[in-house]
Structure formats: C-alpha cells, structure tokens
Homo-oligomer: A and B are copies of this chain.
Amino acid sequence: MAGTITKRPSELEAVVLGLIWTEGPCTAYAVRRIVKDSLSTQWSGSAGAVYPAVARLEERGLIRSRAQATGKRQSLALEPTAKGKRALASWLGPPVDAGALGIPADPLRVRLRFLELLAPERQAEFLSQAITAIKADTSRIKLDLRKRARDESPFEKAMARGALHATRARLRMLAELRDALVTEN
C-alpha cells in the first residue's frame, strides 16, 4: 500500500536502481557491465553482486521486469516502478544522507598514517610509486572526459570532474609529504 516504509537501499542497490532508470529499460547484464567498466573500483560489478541486488529490488517492488527480445536474443528488460522512482529520489535527498557527506574513505591516506613505520628509503619509494600511479589516473580521467565531452550531461561531467579533483587532491597530499620529508633531514 502507499506509505509502506521501504528499507533503505544499499549504495549498490541504489546505483543499480538509478542505472535502470537512466539507461532503462535494460537488462541486468547491461547494468552489470556499466558498474564493472566504471573508472571507480568501488564495486566489482560481479554477477554475484548485481543479480541478487536486482532480485531484492524486484522483491521490494522498486523495479519490474518483462521478457523482451533483442533480435533473436531473449532477455529480461528492467524498469523502475513509481515506487522505485520515489525510493531513489528519497535516497538522493534532500535531505542529503549524512553518511554521504562525511569525509570519504581513502586507502592511500590510511597508509600514510603508518608510513613512518617503514625505513626512510622505502618511504621515498612508496611515495614515488604512488605519485606515478596517481598521475596516470589523472591522465585516464582527463582522457575519459575529453572522449565524451560533446553530448555529456552536466551531471556526468560533474561526476568525472569530481573524480579528477579528488585525484589531484591525492597527488597534492603525496607531494606535500614527499617535500616535507626531503626538507626535514
């Protein structure tokens, strides 16, 4: 019935629901591919994550599926229900979820806290390796940005630029520490 309180979706469930909305009607496989190929390594996009998530969304009445055929190939086309759209809007906010606002996790930043435990030469090696890798990330993101510079919505662009800003921030963090260590001795 209207007004039933639906369980808050997990981040992945929300992403799957969102992709079904923006890309859909589409197959679970298509969603899976998008998640898998996204630059972020947040989720594996494995079948073992996506299909159960889709099943949960359908159980909760947030999406519905119907058989379809793309040429000779048959598959299940997914699309959000009205309830699903409300659920995603409420997940998005406002009010913006407090958990989404807090300082985001960064495994590299965590490692910096314990870097003092390594010998100085290994510290330096750590930093130069990390800096090289992160620089490669910025190039990858820039390329991705340029590649679809034309038709992209301001939202997707903002997301990609957000990733770029975040990556530059990490680079700054690493460079600052390297400089501090050099000038320290």
Contact = CB atoms under 8 A, between A and B. Distances in A.
A148 interface: no
A130 interface: yes
Say how many copies of this protein the assembly contains.
2
5 contacts: A18-B117, A42-B105, A89-B122, A96-B130, A113-B159
A100 B107 contact: yes
A173 B162 contact: yes
A49 interface: no
A165 B155 contact: no
A21 B117 contact: yes
Interface string A105-146: 111111111111110001001100110011001000100000
B112 A159 contact: yes
Given A93-B129, A111-B92, A180 B158 contact: yes
**Which 4 A-B pairs rank lowest in CB-CB distance, beginning with the nearest?**
A162-B173, A165-B169, A158-B177, A41-B102
Contacts of A168: 169
Interface in A67-87: 85
Given A41-B99, A170-B166, A11 B181 contact: no
A97 interface: yes
A3 interface: no
B110 A15 contact: yes
